[in-house]
Amino acid sequence: MNSNLVYSTQAISAPLKGSIRVPGDKSMSHRAVMFSSLADGTSNIKGLLEGEDVMATLAAFQAMGVTAQGPNNGELTIDGVGMRGLQAPEDALDMGNSGTAMRLISGILAAQNFPSKLVGDESLSGRPMRRVTVPLSSMGARCATDENGCPPIHIRGVDQLEPIDYKLPIASAQIKSAVLLAGLYANGETSVTEPAPTRDHTERMLQAYGYECRTEKLNDQASTVSVTGGGQLMAADIDIPADISSAAFFMVAASIVPGSDLTLEHVGINPTRTGVIDVLREMGADIAFLNERDIGGEPVADIRVRYVGLKGIDIDPKYVPLAIDEFPVLCIAAACADGVTTISEAEELRHKESDRISAMVEGLRALGVDLVEHKDGVEITGGKIHGGDVNSFHDHRIAMAFSVAGAVASESICIDRCENVATSFPNFIDLANHVGMSVNV
């Protein structure tokens, strides 16, 4: 991998037009590989994201004895080994840049009777992992991080996990999923209570693979999800919709480039993931769902976005867990909106592939945007975006967000350290240029 891949953008005035399909949903791709590997029988997956993150997940299960054919054009066939069929890996399992993979696989490996070690790249090696190892340890797992609470994660074999009733300290689908996956192996019922809604792909996909998962709504925000250990996952055919997080870059681009009329095909519109659309609509965006349908338990639609001038808003904190990955590009929307946009109660953004609050503040300031940084968010005053040099801090979403900014900047933008875009959106450059943006490597 190139250690310093640079994107350069050229300001454009031509509108974004046409119809495109962005790659498959990354969250669902990870889970489809994991559940297919643990299922009894052969599973067929369509629409798989063939990015480096998902390939790291597939490689990890292949290192534990799972066989697979593909992927080829998003199609992957996996011969599952059953819940107890994984074998001890010979070497450490490298999760690359993927926090999702590391945290979810921790829940699975915590229940195995063999030792394992999870490692990652420089960015992942600085991300907090005690948030999963602590609840897993309370179930009887033997797992540890380094002294700073970061990877590598060392996991020792156990014979049996005990169920827990865990209350999430923060709204996090990754922590919820890690505990639930460990709960599949526990001796009894494991429950996770979340303080606010988070993406529910784990719950939906467990059902698709024949494993009962129960959700009890406690109030408008909180709910409890429960599984009973000792069941089986059965092979399934899964059709993964396009990733709304990837589509979000084009939604914002079409919303800020005058005259744009762009359709994004076959996008997953799971209500736990549409926070970015809710925020953009509150800013005045013209976003319509076309051809709504249900694919394998997940709602899907074609999304049509037409240009309209955006206005600044105070973003409701309830959208933070529902749009956590989309806030970098929402910052670009805010920089183009009329008035002030406020993001708050979003300190979790500081613990992603980069400190995304700091990264966006530094980059937007370099482009002449007026803003105020806070511990848990940022206030952005919309106006003109100038050209300049931006550091993406090896964060794929920061790099792509500033590529969108280049569509309306007064001069070119040079974005440094963009190699990790391949982890989630390997054909981003091709699609961006296809609809009328101008991004060069």
Nearest-CA neighbor of 244 among 17, 23, 14?
Answer: 23
Residues 279, 360: one domain? Answer: yes
CA dihedral in degrees (152, 156, 160, 164; nearest 10)?
A: -30
Is the same domain home to 72 and 206?
A: yes
Domain that holds residue 86: 26-239
Tell me the average pLDDT across 296-300: 87
How many other C-beta atoms lie within 10 A of the C-beta of residue 402? 32
Q: What is the pLDDT of residue 422?
A: 84
Residue 116 lies in a domain: yes
Give 24's DSSP letter.
B
| Residues 158-181 pLDDT 10s | 999 999 999 999 999 999 999 999
End residue of a domain, out of 209, 239, 269: 239
Q: Are residues 234 and 90 in the same domain?
A: yes
pLDDT in tens, 253-286: 999 999 999 999 999 999 999 999 999 999 999 9
If asked whether residues 121 and 256 sit together in one domain, one would say: no
Question: Are both 233 and 247 inside the same structural domain?
Answer: no
Q: Are residues 197 and 254 in the same domain?
A: no
> In this structure, what are the phi and psi dihedrals at residue 245, rounded to the nearest 5 degrees?
-65, -35
Q: Are residues 228 and 191 in the same domain?
A: yes
The count of domains in the chain is 2
Task: Single out the catalytic residue among 94, 200, 239, 325.
Answer: 325
20, 45: one domain: no
302 part of the active site: no
CATH number of the domain bearing residue 334: 3.65.10.10
Dump pLDDT digits (tens) for 330-361.
999 999 999 999 999 999 999 998 999 999 99
Does residue 246 sit in the same domain as residue 224? no
